[in-house]
Amino acid sequence: MQYEIKQKDKFRYVEEGIGEPLLLLHGLFGALSNFADLIEYFRNHYKVIVPMLPLFDLDILHTTVGGLEKYVHKFIESQDYKDIHLLGNSLGGHVALVHVLKHPQRIRSIILTGSSGLFESGMGDSYPKRGDYEYIRKKTELTFYNPEIASKELVDEVYEIVNNRIKAIKIIALAKSAIRNNLGEELNQIQQPTLLIWGNNDTITPPFVGREFQRMIPNSELYFIDKCGHAPMMEVPEEFNKILYRFLTKLNEPATVA
């Protein structure tokens, strides 16, 4: 499915459907395609928004988790979104957490899947040699429980990034920023209802990370999905969408009086 990428000032984004905003933040090697099934499912119920995060467009000083959060904050302000359901995968989850800690006013709920912010194992301790396609293919496959999800198109995207010297430098800068920016001492400040959806076979942010997020975020609930890696919304979209839909529907149910 092709979506119109809108442009307003410096912001490029997709906006589909009407209703409460469901704003999606992709990860370090993420793209619009990561959310294709999610957009199709939720555009009938919500206004689904995907800002194109400027992973490679910020100057090196601001190529950080904090720099991306400032961009997201300015985007939300410029669009005047309110009562946002903020969803982030991997680095996108980390950016979402930093945002809600700094600017909680417009955020109604948080959804994290494979989020960094506590612990993550990145592309690897040794950065891939440029030109080593097979190495990139195997590393990309590690994102998923089912390696077939790592299509040639997806591997080609990652390969193009790591073979571009400037992009590779910025990927390393963002990965290092994520490791430095540990949120463990701040997560108990989050008041919004929080949904955690984790792959039981995630090797980048393993299951114990999901459990730690649940322990530290007061109003949170955690779901594990079997035979699933670091990007559940891509690998098991039907199950992911059902869990998310139940969570969002429950938020809109009137409170029962005992």
Q: Which fold has domain 6-120+183-251?
A: Rossmann fold (3.40.50)
Please state which of the ranges 128-132, 156-160, 210-214 shows the lowest mean pLDDT. Answer: 128-132
Show the beta-strand stretches assigned E in 84-217.
84-89, 107-113, 194-199
Question: Which residues, 6+ apart, have CB-to-CB distance to 23 below 8 Å?
Answer: 49, 50, 51, 76, 81, 84, 85, 86, 87
Residue 152: count of CB within 10 angstroms of its CB: 9
* 129: confidence class by pLDDT, cuts 50, 70, 90: low
Q: Taking residues 144-161, report their average pLDDT.
A: 92
Domain definitions of the chain by residue range: 6-120+183-251
DSSP 65: H
Give the predicted TM-score (pTM) of the model: 0.94
pLDDT, residue 30, reads: 80
The chain-wide mean pLDDT, for the chain, equals: 92
Residues recorded for the chain: 258
Nearest to 55 by CA among 92, 86, 16, 19: 92
Please state which of the ranges 33-37, 130-134, 209-213, 254-258 shows the lowest mean pLDDT. Answer: 254-258
Q: Where do we find the tokens 């119109």?
A: 4
CA–CA dist 258, 253 (Å, integer) = 15
* 49: confidence class by pLDDT, cuts 50, 70, 90: very high
Nearest to 245 by CA among 48, 28, 57: 48
